[in-house]
Amino acid sequence: MNRESAVSRATELVEQMTVEEMASQLRFDAPAIERLGIPEYNWWNEGLHGVARAGTATMFPQAIGLGASFDEELLREIGEVIATEARAKYNEAVKDGDRDIYKGLTIWSPNVNLFRDPRWGRGHETYGEDPCLISRLGVAFIKGLQGDGEYLKTAACAKHFAVHSGPENMRHSFDARASLKEMWETYLPAFEACVLEAEVESVMGAYNRTNGEPCCAHSYLMEEVLRGKWNFKGHYVSDCWAIRDFHENHNVTKRPEESVKLALEKGCDLNCGCTYQKILSAYEEGILPLEHMKRAAVRVFTTRFLLGMFDETEYDSIPYEKVECREHLELASRAAKESIVLLKNDGILPLDKEKIKTIGVIGPNADSRAALIGNYHGTSSRYITVLEGIQDYVGEDVRILYSKGSHLHLDREEALARPDDRLSEAKAVARHSDLVVLCLGLDETLEGEEGDAGNSYASGDKSDLKLPQSQIRLLETIAETGVPFIVCMMAGSAMDLNFADERASAILQVWYPGARGGKDVADILFGRVSPSGKLPITLYRDLEGMPAFTDYSMKGRTYRFLEKEPLYPFGYGLTYADVDITKLEAEDVKYHALGEDGLRVKAEVVNRSGIATQEVVQVYVHIKDSINEVPHPRLAAFQRIALEPGAKRTVEIVIPKMAFEVVNEDGERCFEGTGADIYAGFGQPDQRTMELTGKEGKKWLLVD
């Protein structure tokens, strides 16, 4: 169904509603209107990395891990699977009259906020710190969710609009200040791509204010940019209970009726929360025009018609057997393998089980289901922890010794025991092992959303980059044994890996790899698959010199504005193979003659090893002689490729015209400067990446 037809049908339906009925449909838990044949509908559903909070579903790696894949096609396929399972579950639920929360077709994902500061607890819900990476993966994911059929398969939602990335404990009252240059250079590009390229059906506003106005009633963001510049046609939904913040925390209004009036006036069509229960009061007072209410109702019913909720659709026959089917589980496994980043390897990896008698598996995340799943997750019919994955891989051939080693964050495991009550066991396991796999990190109880179910005691943000003290003591203890050890860091953000970098034989950044991710970790450890993930964030050495968490300027943050050397750079990740770019060529065109199609470059890639692997060719651009260019070369395009042993191939990548534009102080994109440096490699063209990889990549100068 096209939008014009859906709008027409929505308008006709809304015209038949009473004011009371119309008002009721602007709540996330919209009741039935039986006389018009409208069933109840709960708009709130989640699908960040699998259908969430409604029972069994395929669980993919957390979003930050998907970001590490640098794989657009993978994200599109994952979106398709989530939509398929959402439809399958929806089809069965409505048969039983079950229209509860988390069972609808409006998926409030993806989170395309930029991971600005490593302290932010919700950063693991994002695809990372780079506008290009987030944009490309977000667009692909949305296209997968929404499909290309006659109707929307599901309706995706780009969130949280905009300039939103912590602190969590201040989000209900915080005012994020950002210049127009920073907004259009950093905070808005992903949303722009989601609206203009992916035609995302909904956008969710953030809790905070931006430059003085609440994001769910923002003149510039919602009216001038979203509906104006971008001509957004879908519906706008508030974050949950964000409109209540207008009068309770932001103090931009004095009471709920004024908040309702402001939100609807600016174009917030749907309220996740309870403030829109005051719509009728505002209307009866005369401060809320009927036209604002009607406009919102038409928009939300347009989405319901586009989803085919009042028709027969091609998705009605999707069977329940699609939920967590073998094909979907295989895709989750592929995603986990592509997400794992090899940060260090002194040659210990891949492990050869024929040469090992005993492996010690140690750490609070070694046998933790919570460390597999991140937040906003569904339920798996089976979980495979790292310990279980290793045990399953080696079978009876290798003895596995296990110790938890420490509590995740408390100073002891047993309440009546002395502090560090598992350390002596961990030392014993290490002494009796040929090597140790040490699984450290966090889970959703230590980093996540403010007030989230698993994190209700804290804001979810981190105060620093350090592991909990219990794990620091465990790490130091294992290092002191002298036994070779491999660190598996299971966390969704940048952690302090300085000590591990000095003492560990290898480091894997595992993220939260999904319900059965332990099997995929084992496949990487033992070389069944070569690691190929790339860091979607910078792993800093420390926070020294970084601006305050509440400072939204980009100075000193992320690889584009970094002022000191990182421990591990954005875009970095090793493989077991020896792959290099031997040649870089661009089409014959002058800098100022670039067309709207951008620039095609060709990179010749060779695998000199006897190991099959995947790699990510990354292209960076830096405009010459422009005062508006960011300090460092920025990601402009990327492509994941597969290489057989000894293979050579030429990869063609298109750098979009926008990548050659810079943003001035007025927030305007400009084509300026005297030319562009173009770099192609398997990471950034920075000194640290070259030190870590031993490879320089290739450079091309585009001038007139």
Residue among 153, 53, 64 at smallest CA distance from 570: 64
Between the CA of residue 589 and those of 32, 237, 601, what are the distances in Å? 60, 45, 11
- Alpha carbons 275 and 278: distance in angstroms, whole number: 6
The catalytic residue among 239, 245, 520, 523 is 239
Strands 485-490 and 599-607: unpaired
Residue 112 near residue 159 (C-beta atoms within 8 A) = yes
Sign of CA dihedral 326, 329, 331, 334: negative
Strands 29-30 and 41-42: antiparallel
- Alpha carbons 492 and 128: distance in angstroms, whole number: 10
Q: How many CB atoms lie within 10 A of CB 20?
A: 11
Q: Directed axis angle between helix 326-339 and helix 517-525, to 10°? A: 50
Residues in the chain: 704
Strand extents, DSSP E, 118-248: 157-161, 175-176, 202-205, 209-210, 213-214, 235-237
DSSP annotation string for 362-381: ESTTTT-SHHHH-SS--B-S
- Partners of residue 45 on adjacent β-strands: 107
443 is known as an active-site residue: no
Q: Which helix (H) or strand (E) holds 641?
A: strand 634-643
The side-by-side arrangement of strands in the sheet containing 613-624 is: 634-643, 613-624, 675-681, 698-703
Q: Is 438 helix (H, G, I), strand (E, B) or coil?
A: strand
- Partners of residue 643 on adjacent β-strands: 613
C-alpha Rg value of the chain to the nearest Å = 26
**For residue 31, cis peptide bond before it (omega within 30 degrees of 0):** no
Q: Which two tokens stand for residue 576?
A: 């077991």
Residue 95 near residue 320 (C-beta atoms within 8 A) = no
- Alpha carbons 598 and 594: distance in angstroms, whole number: 6
- Partners of residue 52 on adjacent β-strands: 46
Judging by beta carbons within 10 Å of its beta carbon (0-12, 13-18, 19+), is residue 677 exposed, middle or buried? middle
Judging by beta carbons within 10 Å of its beta carbon (0-12, 13-18, 19+), is residue 97 exposed, middle or buried? exposed
Q: Which two tokens stand for residue 598?
A: 């951008």
Q: Is 400 helix (H, G, I), strand (E, B) or coil?
A: strand
Q: Which two tokens stand for residue 78?
A: 């994952």
DSSP annotation string for 292-315: HHHHHHHHHHHHHHHTTTTS--TT
- Alpha carbons 19 and 170: distance in angstroms, whole number: 36
Q: Which residues are catalytic?
A: 239
